Amino acid sequence: MTAVAQNAEDIPALRRWAILFSITLATTQYAMAILVVSVLLPQMQGSLSATQDEIAWVMIFNILATAVMTPMTGWLAGRFGRRRVMLVSMAGFSLATVACGLSTSLPVLVLFRVAQGTFGAPLIPLGQAIVLDTFPKRQHGIATSVFGMAVVVGPVIGPMLGGILAETYGWPAAFYMFVPFGIIALVGMFMFVTDNGARQHTSLDWTGFLTLSVAVIGLQLLLSRGQRLDWFESPEIIIEAVLAVVALHLFIVHSVTAERPFLNPRLLLDRNFVLGLVIVSIYGMLNFTPMVLLPPMLQGVLGYPDSIIGLLLGMRGAGAIAGFFAAIFISRLDPKFGMTFGFGLQVASGIYMAGFDMNTSIIDVAINSILQGMAVGIIWVPLTVAAFATLDNRYLAEGSAVYHLLRNLGSAVFISLSVTLVIISTADNYAGMTEFVSDYNKVLNLPWVLGLWGVDSVRGLTSLSGEIGRQAAMIGYINAFWAYTMASLAVMPLIFLVRARKT
């Protein structure tokens, strides 16, 4: 019996379950916080006087902060101890969440969302490690199931409660709901969680970490602000592009030449793992993008209230639960089958969304959300199994860091590109449709064509302009949904190059 197993057996049962409850509550809040913002985006956009691309930063930079900080989790735990890192992470996450609710400007809100992602990043990987060390191996199944449900249930609860609170009390209330649960989780971890074993005095390759961070942040700023600043006509965009390219070059050179680089280039010698990295990047691209695009479409174009939007987004979480249960049985088969089936659902979901119009019903959106959730749940297990199937056990920790980094980076990049596509497409279609609003268009002289709109008064023109704007925006969202569908299709050939079993 190992030392860990002996320690786990020595822990009283009540203490074990108290640790599991505290950590599960903490990770549930982190999972909730990622998606609760999606239902708040339309209300925050109006409250903070932000454009559509600007308000997307609230989601993008939180994901980006998580992506950058996740690979540091092992070093932080080895340097400061798991208990201390968990307590500081939970306390920092809770304070940052309250600060998000108190924010009165977009830059401040984005700053605290970055802090939220930074402090929250270690909660899930460290929480899982503590749970596995706390319970003996014979109870790992049930402990992991309870812990894993937090990550799945959080996205269900977050949008639902957030939508109701935002509609009743305003969007800051959705952040304040985390406060009591954060205090309970923090007190529980303080009382029951202990460090298991001595700290490991590991070193961190700061050169690799900093150059990679600068490259990722430079790329994300370029994509997020490029459309607003007219791309390379702006000195800021040029500077960000140069920083991203130079930092990436330095990172690659350093990784190849350093004795112990931040991310080991030997990982790329494994074909399965490289394919897994490409596929998980696309998986990340498809994961959160609909959560950013659908709320402003549902409220701004179709006029849905926040509570209904929250309920519809929560259906995605319900679909994810069903998908994870289905993955239990699908995982017994070749991983390629599970991935093909899951990404096939993503393709069907994209085609479904591309068929949305001005008369799209609540049932249509709900079915689509469930479909997306099921796809996310079904893909994850076989994808992870296939990606690490042939990777040497020595590289599992580093491989996992790269794996999650690219998943989050894929989300952040594709969200920026999709929002940019919506904005450009909306503007182009608006300009094209307004060309038909003219005295020379004889169709407009027919009384049953314009209805309450008109071209002979300011009020009529304003109303007509608003309707053209709605129609143009709808086309913009449809174009973004087609891009989502194409990304889902693009991954299909890669799946069949994956080796099914470890040799």
The mean-pLDDT minimum among 21-25, 35-39, 302-306 falls in 35-39
Q: CA-CA distance, 62 to 189, in Å (whole number)?
A: 24
For the segment 477-481, the average pLDDT, to the nearest whole number, is 94
Could you read off the pLDDT of 287-299 as tens digits, one per residue? Answer: 888 888 888 898 8
For the segment 141-149, the average pLDDT, to the nearest whole number, is 69
DSSP for 62-106 reads: HHHHHHHHGGGHHHHHHHH-HHHHHHHHHHHHHHHHHHHHH--SH
Residue type, position 260, single letter: R
Indicate the burial class of 163 (C-beta count within 10 angstroms; 0-12, 13-18, 19 or more). buried
pLDDT at 49: 86
DSSP for 236-273 reads: HHHHHHHHHHHHHHHHHHHHHH-SS-SS-GGGGG-HHH
What secondary structure letter does DSSP report for 200?
Answer: P
Could you read off the pLDDT of 369-426 as tens digits, one per residue? Answer: 999 888 988 888 788 888 887 887 777 767 777 887 888 888 888 888 898 899 899 9
The mean-pLDDT minimum among 36-40, 161-165, 369-373, 458-462 falls in 458-462
Token pair of 271 as six digits: 């074909």
The residue that leads in pLDDT, 124 or 103, is: 103
Q: Which of 376, 356, 367 is nearest to 312 (CA)?
A: 367
pLDDT at 451: 61
Cα separation values, 36 from 95, 173, 314, 374, 493, Å: 17, 11, 10, 19, 34
Token pair of 105 as six digits: 């400007």
- Please say if the pLDDT value at position 144 is more than 80: no
CB 186 within 8 A of CB 94: yes
Q: CA-CA distance, 265 to 383, in Å (whole number)?
A: 21
Could you read off the pLDDT of 40-76 as tens digits, one per residue? Answer: 888 888 888 888 778 888 888 888 888 788 878 878 8
- Please say if the pLDDT value at position 220 is more than 90: no
CATH number for domain 264-503, candidates 1.20.1250.20, 3.20.20.70, 3.30.230.70, 3.30.930.10: 1.20.1250.20
pLDDT at 449: 59
Q: How confident is residue 476, by pLDDT bands cut at 50, 70 and 90?
A: very high
Token pair of 201 as six digits: 């005095």
- Please say if the pLDDT value at position 4 is more than 50: no
The mean-pLDDT minimum among 73-77, 90-94, 380-384, 435-439 falls in 435-439
The mean-pLDDT minimum among 84-88, 250-254, 430-434 falls in 430-434
pLDDT at 31: 78
- Please say if the pLDDT value at position 24 is more than 50: yes
pLDDT at 503: 45
Q: How confident is residue 5, by pLDDT bands cut at 50, 70 and 90?
A: very low
For domain 1-199, which architecture applies?
A: Up-down Bundle (1.20)
Could you read off the pLDDT of 232-266 as tens digits, one per residue? Answer: 888 888 998 999 999 999 999 988 888 888 777 88
Q: What percent of the chain has pLDDT over 70?
A: 89
Residue type, position 171, single letter: W
Q: How confident is residue 488, by pLDDT bands cut at 50, 70 and 90?
A: very high
Q: CA-CA distance, 400 to 247, in Å (whole number)?
A: 23
pLDDT at 162: 85
pLDDT at 119: 93
Establish how many alpha carbons lie within 13 A of residue 168's alpha carbon, considering only the half-sphere containing its beta carbon.
10
Q: What percent of the chain has pLDDT over 90?
A: 22
